[in-house]
Amino acid sequence: MPNPVAEAVAETGKPRARPRREVIRRHSWPVRLTHWINALTIFIMVGSGLNIFNAHPRLYWGQAGANFDKPFLALHAWPDWITIPSYTDLADARHWHIFFAWILVANGALYLAWSLGSRHIQRDLWPGVSDLRDIPRSIIDHIKLRHPKGEAAKRYNVLQRLAYLGLLALLIGMVLTGLCMSPGFDAFAPWLVDAFGGRQSARTLHFLFASAIVLFIVVHLIEVVLAGPINELRSMITGRYAVPGEHD
């Protein structure tokens, strides 16, 4: 009986096993923990936010705006199945939204404190000059769905850096525009309301920022699947990430 392994050994002098991929620790535990809390929280914030939005599905620009004023954007109510809870209930939706807003802020504050303190943001997210020069090539790579391999896969590419920083900016924008809808907070920081162009502008921006975050999530999930969902998910759960080899 021919033995293929023996033949292979005979041929090359050593077993031709598939080279093991290098496994690195990609995400630190604070990033993993805050990532999943953030994911759950944003999911609830979007769902309950759309329920609240349905109470008055029109957006205005300026300090004031109601039914008889010219809208910036007049939309229809979102279907109930997309909202939390899955029936129109402004009081309950506000309970969900405001509770999880506190979670979002607390989780975001922990993330920021850790990421700035450990220099995660400065080191891993903030793009350097060489990163910025790399933008055109990185765009082409992304369009061709070509993912970095080897050493390049161990660090975030420039579009990833910009996307994550952008998400961070959007989340801060969500918190600030959200606060500007609170009449109590507005008495404390009227300058912030005015900086956003008024309470109704803040509400409009809150909706637009949320839309941008939803767009981010869609692209993020597509990228996770394209880059290898098992490996990517594992890296965000256990931290262990198998670096794609140069010849994979």
Partner 1 sequence: MTIITRRQALITSLAGSGLLLSGCSKIFQADALTESASFQRVLAAAQSWTRATQRFLLAGGQMAQQYKPSDISPYFKPNGTYNPGGADYNRQVAEGFVNWRLQIDGMVAHPLSLSVAELRRLPSRSQITRHDCVEGWSAIGGWTGVPLALLLQAAGLRAGAKYVVFYCADNLDGDPDKGGDQAPGRYYESIGLADATHPQTIIAYDMNGKPLDVAHGAPLRLRVERQLGYKMAKYVHHIQVVSDFSGIEGGHGGYWEDRGYDWYAGI
Q: Which residues of 99-112 are buried (b: 16+ CB within 10 A; e: fewer)?
A: ebbeebbebbeebe
Query: Contact with partner 1 (CB under 8 A): which of 9, 63, 126, 237?
Result: 63
Q: Which stretch binds partner 1 (CB under 8 A): 8-16, 29-37, 51-59, 151-159?
A: 51-59
Interacting positions 130-189 with partner 1 (CB under 8 A): 145, 181-188
Q: Does 50 bind partner 1 (CB under 8 A)?
A: yes
β-bridge pairing 58-59 and 73-74: antiparallel
Rounded least distance, CB 112 to partner 1, Å = 19
Q: Does 244 bind partner 1 (CB under 8 A)?
A: no
Phi, psi (deg, nearest 5) at residue 25: -90, 110
Q: How far apart are CA 45 and CA 186, in angstroms?
A: 21
Query: Contact with partner 1 (CB under 8 A): which of 26, 27, 65, 127?
Result: 65
The CB density around residue 229, as the number of other CB atoms within 10 Å, is 11
| HSE of 193, CA atoms in CB hemisphere, 13 A | 18
Q: How far apart are CA 82 and CA 80, in angstroms?
A: 5
Q: Does 10 bind partner 1 (CB under 8 A)?
A: no
Residue with token string 């939005």: 53
- Residue 162 tokens read as 């910009």
Task: Please identify, using beta-carbon distances, which residue of 28 and 71 lies nearer to partner 1.
Answer: 71
Q: Does 226 bind partner 1 (CB under 8 A)?
A: yes
Q: Does 222 bind partner 1 (CB under 8 A)?
A: yes
Q: Does 17 bind partner 1 (CB under 8 A)?
A: no
Q: Which stretch binds partner 1 (CB under 8 A): 8-16, 29-37, 57-65, 119-127?
A: 57-65
Q: Does 241 bind partner 1 (CB under 8 A)?
A: no
Residue 25, strand partner residues = 240
Q: How far apart are CA 130 and CA 96, in angstroms?
A: 44
Q: Does 230 bind partner 1 (CB under 8 A)?
A: yes
If binding means CB under 8 A, how many residues of this protein chain bind partner 1?
62
Q: Does 109 bind partner 1 (CB under 8 A)?
A: no
Q: How far apart are CA 192 and CA 91, in angstroms?
A: 26
Q: How far apart are CA 171 and CA 193, in angstroms?
A: 17
In the complex, the residues that contact partner 1 under the rule CB under 8 A are 43-44, 46-48, 50, 52-53, 55-56, 58, 60, 63-69, 81-87, 89-92, 94-96, 98-99, 101-102, 145, 181-188, 190, 193, 199-200, 203, 214, 217-218, 221-222, 224-226, 228-230
